[in-house]
A and B are shown apart, each in its own frame.
Chain A
Amino acid sequence: MGIVSIKEKIIDSIQNNLDIKSVRKILKLISNPIVFFLYGLSFKSVSDKYLNKYSLSYMREVYCGNHPIAYGSLFIPYEILNSLNLKLILPEVMGGFTAGLGVTDKTLSNAANNWYSADLCTFHRSASGAANMSLFPKPDFIICSNLACDAACKSFEDMAKKFEIEDRFYLIDIPYENDEISLKYLAVQLENIYFDISDKLKIKPDINNLKKALINSNKLRSHLLEVNKIREELFDYPQYYNGLSYILPLFGLSGTSKAAELYRIMEKELKAKLRKQIQPGKMKKILWMHLKPYYRNEIFNILEENGCRVVCEEITDVFWEEMDPEKPFISLASKMISNPLRGNGQNRINTILSMAEKYKVDGAILFSHWGCRQSNGLARILKDRLAEIKIPLLILDGDCVDKNNCPSGQIKTRIEGFTEIINSL
């Protein structure tokens, strides 16, 4: 039996017996050394292989029941949580995971039955449905912030209520401005959370662990900087490589040595590709904004077929400065505050414009995920600003999680129309 059909079989079995036990069983099955080896073979890129094997063993740890679990929203300082040895689950990962397994019809309708409006972001709707259906281990802590959006705070609060851990629910309030007072306001919150969680875990906080996490995170940062520099010139990508696949390590696992290692491997792999690249290709370069669909889809193939390649993603930009391990809370607060999705939209626009210039892109795509107010709300200004520097923007309406909200025929027509414009420039 080939690895592909094993995969299909597994997915089939999950779809039909949806509960935590079946997920656990399957994780165990894949972790069998032979299957695990075969699983690794199904990836063409070294970093993808590392990512997937590592994610899998991470998931096993998450599910094994031996570690305290935290649910966290995308841009919180995971260095803190990793230094406390929490195992982490992100809604983006839950949403992506459920989309990848093809069970979102069920998770979304579970959320709908519980009065989650269809106007809301599907990452959070699907995560809520999955949590209701006990597809993920019960959390010991829930930590969220309003960076980048309101959705996380509220949907997580609702989860905390359902799991009856309101006293272990932390909201990190992100200031709008970037000044001394705001920075301090944020740093104090982070510090309180660190000590409160340690307290509840009944462990003596070891600030050295936190420092180590910051050092790891800095390593990741410097590898990622290199990776991004390589990508400014690289055309010959490893097959199926896509920066948008690395949400878990880039955010959720930042602060771990494994995540830093992954980016070291990625740097090595891409560097080798660049060295072997004989001449710059004729591909048109595309900048990608927001996330991508996490179910099977043809978007990136359609782009390739039409001579376009995504060379940079908004989400993989290194927006933060190197952190000072001696001042962990201020450093982490400063990392959060530098996030371009925080505060004024100008922050994001500046980042996009400078990326567009750095990577010399020919066009940009904003994946307009249904119900994402913060990102889609800025689309019109982004379009106008990019037009000023003669870069066409495609606002691609779709949904990262719900394939039914993303008609493939329409997507294809739009992308092809867009690539025709770019290729004629």
Chain B
Amino acid sequence: MEIKIEESFADSIKSSASLNTGRGMVAYTCSYIPEELIAAANLIPYRVYGNKESNLADKYFPINFCPYVKAVWEEIHHNTILDAIILATSCDGIRRLNDYISYYEKELPVFMLDIPRKSDKDSLGFFAHNLKNLWIFLCGISNVDPGNTDIIKASSSIINRKRTLLKELTKHYEADMHQIIKNDDYFNIINISLSSETDTFNNELESYIKKIKSLKENYDTVHNDFKSNLKIMIIGNYINDNNFWSIFENLNVKLISSDICITYRYFDIGLEKNYEAPGLENDIFTDIANSFISKPACFRMADIKSKLNDIKAQIYENNINGVIFASLKFCDNTLYSFPALKNELNKMKIPSIFLDIEYGKSSYGQLKTRIEAFIEMLNL
């Protein structure tokens, strides 16, 4: 029996497409932007997906420019239901996106969240300060009293439930060697989680996980058609491209411990207070700043040495057979990190492959050939 994602998550999908909830919608671009602040201001957080189809952005941006930035620009240009957009100082590309929105889309309020590149005490305090400014900005959009920070706590607990459920989903997905949760389904669910009303999504995900569990109990004894136990780790940046995931649809592999912007880096966020705070404000913003700065780091944030150590640990712990390094094209922060990673993987004798993703405009045929060949190579 197959569980259809579109059916299981019908309400979530609806909640992102139309605004029948009566709440405003605020787009954001980066996993370091805390959704709880947006939701606490009574707005729906929407991790902007981007319009991958049209070519308007090519008139504005250079040819060798981040395809995600271009796709977001394209979407912003056509999207009329957004109340604001939150960007982060993730990279030069997003800095320029802010310039373009401020200049060509003047009606859309935009906030640039400055995220420090370091995690020492000063950076933490600086980040907390910036988060507070973001909160004030959001309250201005939805006429909420910024003094009322208790609502942030409430909102955090809803978002945290989503994070916990996504972690649970991941646990089932990674342990499931029968492809009850298909590779592309798993990533589709995460994609839905990025842009839907959180409560609705949480409920649907909860019942989906229940269904999976019961299916699994029956499956283990009856079927055993999934032959390969190949475990692949995907490392990269914002790889959120259904065309890309559909390449994996019928491949006998598992994508384990993926290190990209929409997996652990998105939902493995603990909100426990585990920092010493002399000289820091003892408030919710410092708490959030701390948990975001200590979540699994991306290539912009991490120092390369500890990032490589983390990856190594994941590979050994999960018996990973091969690594796919997938980067959105022209992403400097990611591309500069690959040489060191490749070198390390070679030393570990872990086969790896480098893929450029053009986010909707890739030549998927060629990507498919490369991925299939890579898997054939691991299987031989």
Contact = CB atoms under 8 A, between A and B. Distances in A.
Q: Do A and B come into direct contact in the complex, CB within 8 Å?
A: yes
Nearest to B61: A377
A384 B92 CA distance: 20
Nearest to B90: A150
B332 A154 contact: yes
Interface of A: 114-117, 119-121, 124, 146, 149-151, 153-155, 157-158, 161, 166, 171, 173, 175-177, 181-182, 185, 188-189, 343-346, 368, 370-371, 373-374, 376-381, 384
B333 A173 contact: no
Interface in B86-130: 89, 91-93, 95-96, 98-100, 102-103, 112, 114, 116-118, 122-123, 126, 129
A246 to B, nearest CB: 25
A185 B129 CA distance: 11
B208 interface: no
A373 B98 CA distance: 14
Given A155-B336, A189-B122, A381-B100, A176 B89 contact: yes
A367 to B, nearest CB: 13
A154 B61 CA distance: 23
B66 interface: yes
A66 to B, nearest CB: 30
A379 B65 CA distance: 12
Interface in B322-356: 329-330, 332-333, 335-340, 342-343, 354
Nearest to A119: B330
A377 B98 contact: no
28 contacts: A115-B343, A116-B339, A119-B330, A120-B335, A150-B332, A154-B332, A154-B337, A155-B336, A158-B340, A166-B305, A173-B123, A175-B126, A176-B114, A181-B129, A185-B122, A185-B123, A343-B95, A344-B95, A370-B64, A371-B64, A371-B330, A373-B96, A376-B64, A376-B65, A377-B61, A377-B96, A380-B59, A380-B100
Contacts of B168: none
Contacts of B116: 173, 185
Contacts of A374: 92, 95-96
Contacts of A343: 95
Nearest to A150: B332
A150 B91 contact: yes
Interface size class of B (residues with CB under 8 A): 35 or more
Contact of A373 (B65, B89, B99, B126): B65
A157 B305 CA distance: 9
Contacts of A188: 122
A403 to B, nearest CB: 18
B260 to A, nearest CB: 18
Contacts of B89: 176
A15 B165 CA distance: 60
Of A117, A161, A177, A376, most buried by chain B (CB within 10 Å of CB) is: A117
Contact of B336 (A146, A158, A171, A378): A158
A117 B91 CA distance: 18
Contacts of A149: 92, 332
A123 to B, nearest CB: 12
B312 interface: no
B332 A151 contact: yes
Contacts of A154: 299, 304, 332-333, 336-337
Interface in B122-145: 122-123, 126, 129
B114 A115 contact: no
A373 B66 contact: yes
Given A161-B305, A171-B117, 11 more contacts: A124-B336, A149-B92, A157-B336, A158-B340, A185-B116, A188-B122, A343-B95, A344-B99, A368-B62, A370-B64, A376-B64
Contacts of B342: 115
Nearest to A121: B332
B314 to A, nearest CB: 19
Contacts of B340: 158, 161
Given A146-B117, A157-B303, A377 B62 contact: yes
B174 to A, nearest CB: 28
- The 8 lowest CB-CB distance pairs between A and B, nearest first, are A154-B336, A377-B96, A345-B99, A373-B92, A374-B92, A176-B114, A115-B339, A173-B117
A275 B347 CA distance: 66
A248 B96 CA distance: 28
A347 to B, nearest CB: 10
A185 B126 contact: yes
A150 B300 contact: yes
B118 A173 contact: yes
A120 B93 contact: no
Nearest to B308: A161
Interface in B63-100: 64-66, 89, 91-93, 95-96, 98-100
B30 to A, nearest CB: 13
Given A157-B304, A158-B339, A376 B62 contact: yes
A207 to B, nearest CB: 21
Contact of B102 (A166, A173, A346): A346
B122 A153 contact: no
B37 to A, nearest CB: 18
A163 to B, nearest CB: 13
Contact of B304 (A124, A158, A346, A373): A158
Given A370-B64, A373-B332, A377-B62, A150 B92 contact: yes
B316 interface: no
Contacts of A157: 303-304, 336
A373 B330 contact: yes
Contact of A377 (B92, B118, B122): B92
Contacts of B93: 373, 377
Contacts of B275: none
Contacts of A166: 303, 305
Contacts of A151: 332, 336
A202 B145 CA distance: 53
B122 A345 contact: no
A225 B335 CA distance: 39
Given A173-B123, A176-B114, A119 B62 contact: no
A158 B102 CA distance: 34
Contact of B114 (A177, A373, A384): A177
Of B122, B305, B332, most buried by chain A (CB within 10 Å of CB) is: B332
B354 A115 contact: yes
